[in-house]
Structure 1
Amino acid sequence: MTELLDDRPYHHGNLRAALLEAAEASLAEHGADGISLRDLAREIGVSHGAPRRHFPDRQALLDALAISGFVRLDEQIRQAIDAVAADFPSRLHAVARAYTRFATENAALLELMYSSKHRPGAEGIVEASEAAFRMVFDLLKQGQDEGALGGEDPTETCMVLFATLQGIATMTNAGFVPGEQLEALTDTAVTQFLRGARP
């Protein structure tokens, strides 16, 4: 078996992207503990040493996966904001739907993103996470400036909103909320949030 692996090509058209894609699929199926650089190399058909060109160890791969997750979340939130009218309620509903959709379609990835963010030395992950959350923070600040939201601290308001959305996503992932009800429940939660957060 070792000889077969050694005969595999070292180079790959886009090895880094292929490794991240395979790692994300493995993460969803086996969890973070089930990810192995050697297994991923075998799966995509390269020598067992090839992944180390991009990821010196397993932790580096997991960190890169978490960063790519935050980049995707950032893109989806941006697209959601750009696709609706500029008024605050429309944007907030769009952002909430984008978040709960991402959180339910990428449950294992999101868990890795959040857990990795708090690991010592994870500055790159923290930086990647700030872009998406900064957009939501700025959106809530817009709501305060327009008089749609009360409170003096947008950070606290942001935490309440995310806790609500993450709760909905967690209940959906656990099967307590049918997937087809996700968007309607998210909209209801945002409507109630807006009603309760008025000054």
Structure 2
Amino acid sequence: MTSRRSYHHGDLRQAVLTAALDVIACDGPAALSLRDLARRAGVSHAAPAHHFKDRTGLLTAIAAEGFGLLADALADAPDLRERGVAYVRFAVGHPAHFQVMFQPDLLRGDDPGLLAAKERASAELRAGIDSLGSATGSTDGSATGSATGSTDGSATGSATDPRTAGIAAWSLAHGFATLLLTRNLDAGNTAGGARVGRDGHTGETGEGGASGVEGGPMGDRNPEEFFRALAGLLF
């Protein structure tokens, strides 16, 4: 039986969060139980409830932490495309956070900490959209379409407002990250395919360690470089 441990106030909270992230990474949010987390952390059954009140409070804290980490990751990227890469890298590096952050039915939506963290992350994405407009000479935050010969302020020939561009960028990064995490871009059981590791890089599988373009949708290309290529088609 796990012995009880002595924690400082903040350490106990983090110990429960860490245990919860381990469970989510292995079995998903549905597997969370405050009593089980107390056992894993070696603390009293009442300790997790003291910090988070209930399961929803715990998941809300995880989501808030995740959005804060995402905001930090996006802030270090110089432009919209690299913010997309940072988004994908965050998702692969923090899969448990990523599973929880975008499931509002699991969260306490009016939690001040969650709202503040979400706003920080959104602001960093908006900054990427602004950088796109600056780089292309647009004054409204949209692409100028110079790469395609368009003269109306967009890459496709129709005016694009910053909000729409933001949704497009988010959709691309979030969708690609989700496909990676759910292994839909893997080779699966195909011999000679490239698998995506937790660090977002592909590893060789199959007999003799061979890796080839037939291994999966991305072939043997690095996921981050593959995403840059995708982003270049749109932005």
TM-score normalized with structure 1 length = 0.80
Q: Does 1:40 align with 2:37?
A: yes
What amino acid does structure 2 have at the position aligned with 1:105?
G
Partner of 1:8: 4
Query: Runs (4+) of structure 1 moved beyond 6 Å?
Result: none
What amino acid does structure 2 have at the position aligned with 1:190?
A
1:184 deviates by 1.4
Q: Does 1:193 align with 2:201?
A: no
Measure the CA separation in 2 of the matches of 1:117 and 1:138: 28
Inter-CA distance 92–117: structure 2 relative to 1 (3 Å threshold): farther
Q: What are the superposed Cα offsets for residues 28-60 of structure 1, whole Å, 9 maximum, x if unpaired?
A: 112111111111111111111122221111111
What amino acid does structure 1 have at the position aligned with 2:128?
L
> Which protein has the bigger helix share?
1
Measure the CA separation in 2 of the matches of 1:48 and 1:118: 22
Kept in 2, the 8 Å contact 1:73–1:99? The answer is: yes
Kept in 1, the 8 Å contact 2:22–2:96? The answer is: no
Measure the CA separation in 2 of the matches of 1:134 and 1:21: 27
Q: Does 1:28 align with 2:16?
A: no
1:159 deviates by 0.4
Inter-CA distance 73–24: structure 2 relative to 1 (3 Å threshold): same
Measure the CA separation in 1 of the matches of 2:131 and 2:18: 36
Between 125-134 and 140-149, the greater mean CA deviation after superposition: 140-149
Q: Kindly report the root-mean-square deviation, in angstroms, between the aligned alpha carbons of the 2 structures.
A: 2.3
Measure the CA separation in 2 of the matches of 1:118 and 1:61: 10
Partner of 2:129: 140
Q: Does 1:157 align with 2:145?
A: no
Q: What is the percentage of aligned positions where both structures have the same residue?
A: 29
Q: Does 1:107 align with 2:103?
A: no
1:105 deviates by 2.9
What amino acid does structure 2 have at the position aligned with 1:177?
L
Inter-CA distance 153–106: structure 2 relative to 1 (3 Å threshold): same
SS class of match (1:160) = helix
Q: How does 1:79-118 map onto structure 2 within 5 Å?
A: 79-81=76-78, 91-116=79-104
Inter-CA distance 22–192: structure 2 relative to 1 (3 Å threshold): same
Inter-CA distance 121–140: structure 2 relative to 1 (3 Å threshold): closer
Partner of 2:74: 77
What amino acid does structure 1 have at the position aligned with 2:102?
Y
Tell me the number of residue pairs that the alignment of Structure 1 and Structure 2 aligns. 180
Structure having the higher Rg = 2
Inter-CA distance 139–190: structure 2 relative to 1 (3 Å threshold): same
- Structure 2, unaligned runs of 5 or more: 144-152, 154-158, 187-195, 197-201, 203-221
SS class of match (2:21) = helix
Q: What are the superposed Cα offsets for residues 132-179 of structure 1, whole Å, 9 maximum, x if unpaired?
A: 121111221232243371345211111011111122112222323243
Partner of 2:190: none
Measure the CA separation in 1 of the matches of 2:99 and 2:49: 25
1:15 deviates by 0.5
Inter-CA distance 118–37: structure 2 relative to 1 (3 Å threshold): closer
1:183 deviates by 0.7
What amino acid does structure 1 have at the position aligned with 2:172?
T
Bigger relative contact order (CA 8 A; separation at least 6):
1
What amino acid does structure 1 have at the position aligned with 2:83?
V
